[in-house]
Amino acid sequence: MLRSCTAALRTLRALRGRREGASPAARDPVLARRWFSTEKVIPKDHALPNPSWSKDLRLLFDQFMKKCEDGSWERLPSYKNSKLVKEQLSQAQLFTRGYEDGLGFEYVIFYNDDEKRTVCLFQGGPYLQGVPGFLHGGAIATMIDAAVGMCAAIPGGIVMTANLNINFKRISAPFRWDSLCHRRAGIIW
Amino acid sequence: MIRRGLRAAARLGHHGALPGGPYILPTFSLVSAFGSSMDSLVSRFCQEKTDLKNYALPNASWCPDMLNLYHEFLEKTKADGWIRLPSFKSNRNHIQGLKLPLVLTVSSDKSDCHIFTRCIKTEGQGYEYVIFFHPSKKKSVCLFQPGPYLEGPRGFAHGGSLAAMIDETFSKTAYLTGDGLFTLNLNTRFKNLIRMGSLAVLNVGVEKVEDQKLYISCVAQSTDQQTVYAKASGTFLQLQLEEDSSQYYTLCLQESLLPTALPTWDTPQSSGGCPGSNW
């Protein structure tokens, strides 16, 4: 999906920035000039723990952060908007980041470049309900689409979801998605 | 498989959410021989006398295409057998007087739960939709207008939002047609992107009901039917809800009625007194 490309490009820029030790604005002079002079807009990275995260989610997060220490895994940052500059006309925000902490999608995606694999840790909040007490199948589909899309977009470039086929095995509590790219993605129309 | 989990959980004899595999079902079949009549399901679902806010009504954010088709289908509800489905904040509100089988009851203190497709409250920002259902044809039509909070690619709706809207329409259709409750499979083939603020029409139909599974399909397309956004198919597990006898008992006490028609039941669960909270 093109959204995967957009998200992936943002993530790749952020990853390269972190590796090179520079902030996105410092590397992009045009971007730096457009920031308000009296206000430094630092986009919030939502793929970090907050008080709504359960113990299980934090535990898994810590386990994967340990795996990142040797460089084999990368934590993918996640921002609400596709732009770092305020746009008065656009109210758009990334679908999966449009909720207050703990109410919607709480997730973080880790990527392994050698294995071309992503792992998504996901905790669904009370605004994602389907059958009372359980997560909506569509919310799960959204999360799978996001994680698998990221897996395809980072190595593959521009991708678009052509088919999303989900067999539900059990009704959900917080869970972890493990997706593996089996083949190179291309533009599919 | 969800059904294997259900039977296994019955043997464990728990209730509430189980770690790893929650479900429990007693030994009766998942759907009784007679099931729930469609009329009964529809009448409970479409509560006319309620103070609950119905989100499936026009508002200022609806585009002209959506308004026009809405009124066209509204006319069809008068004579052609179509029913406009109300849409409340939570699925609990749609099935008052019913509950999940005891073993699927999840204790939760989250009274502010929202159904996923009604979680964005600001008009026009998230899911704007209304579902029309035709009982005898076992079909539904969903008019869906995605707002800017559902963005994926810039200016277009996130694929997950369309998958969720399809799943939601499937869910309501499956439930009203034949107690379809849980999604077993959802297969979505995306064809084109939906521009935010434009209308997508989801035509949904039940293909067959077999072996306690309900098979359902959807074509999502533009108003003029020239652009197909996605085709999807789904499978739902049939699971009949139970009468909420605790709520009935409370009502009887309030109305000074003797519950002589009730079979024996366990001690009514108390969970704060909110109707429908004993799920």
Is B266 tagged catalytic? no
B154 and A168 within 8 Å at the Cβ level: the answer is: no
Residue B219 makes CB contacts below 8 A (sequence gap 6+) with: B202, B203, B228, B230, B231
**Interface residue of A82, A170, A175, A188 to substitute, partner B, most B CBs within 10 Å:** A170
Residue A68's region, left for phi above 0, alpha for psi from -120 to 50, else beta, is: alpha
Domain count, chain A: 1
Burial B232-250 (b: 16+ CB within 10 A, else e): bbbbbbbbbbeebbbbbbe
Report DSSP letters for B56-75, one per residue: SS--TT--HHHHHHHHHHHH
* A169/A35 Cα distance (integer angstroms): 47
State the smallest CA–CA distance between residue B113 and chain A in angstroms.
Answer: 5
- Answer yes or no: are the C-beta atoms of B129 and B145 closer than 8 Å: yes
Helix (H, G, I), strand (E, B) or coil at B228: strand
Report if residue A134 sits inside a domain.
yes
A113 belongs to a structural domain? yes
Residue B35 near chain A (CB below 8 Å): no
Query: Is A17 inside any structural domain?
Result: no
Tell me which of A145-149, A161-165, B246-250 is least confident. B246-250
pTM, 2 dp? 0.74
Task: Report CA-CA distances (Å) from A182 to A11, A118, B133, B187, B188.
Answer: 21, 12, 41, 19, 20
- Tell me, yes or no, whether A125 lies in a domain: yes
B183 contacts A6? CB cut-off 8 A = no
Instruction: Return the number of other C-beta atoms located less than 10 Å from residue A117's C-beta.
Output: 15
Q: Which of A5, A126, A146 lies closest to B110 in CB terms? A: A126
Mean predicted confidence (pLDDT) in A13-26: 41
pLDDT, position A186: 29
In a domain, A97, yes or no: yes
Q: Quote the CA–CA distance of A109 and A58 in Å, as a whole number.
A: 13
pLDDT value at residue A66: 96
Q: Determine the residue of chain B that is closest to A93 in CA distance.
A: B149
Nearest to A131 among B91, B112, B187 (CB): B91
The domain in which residue A111 lies consists of 55-156
A133 contact residues in B (CB cutoff 8 A)? 17, 100, 104-106, 108, 279
Q: Is the pLDDT of residue A26 over 60?
A: no
Q: Do B171 and A2 touch (CB under 8 A)?
A: no
The count of CB pairs under 8 A between chains A and B is: 179
Give me the residues of B, 99-128, that contact A with CB < 8 A: 100, 104-106, 108, 110, 112-117, 119-120, 125-126
Q: What is the pLDDT of residue A189?
A: 26
Q: Please tell me the CATH code under which domain B38-97+113-244 is placed.
A: 3.10.129.10
Give residue limits of the domains in chain B.
38-97+113-244
The active-site residue, picked from B80, B112, B167, B266, is B167
Report pLDDT for A38.
55
In this prediction the ipTM stands at: 0.72
Look at B117 and A164 and tell me if their CB atoms are within 8 Å: no
Higher pLDDT, A115 or A27: A115
Say if A150 falls within a structural domain: yes
Which CATH number covers residue A112?
3.10.129.10
A100 lies in some domain: yes
CA distance B181 to A131: 8
Q: Is residue A25 domain-resident?
A: no
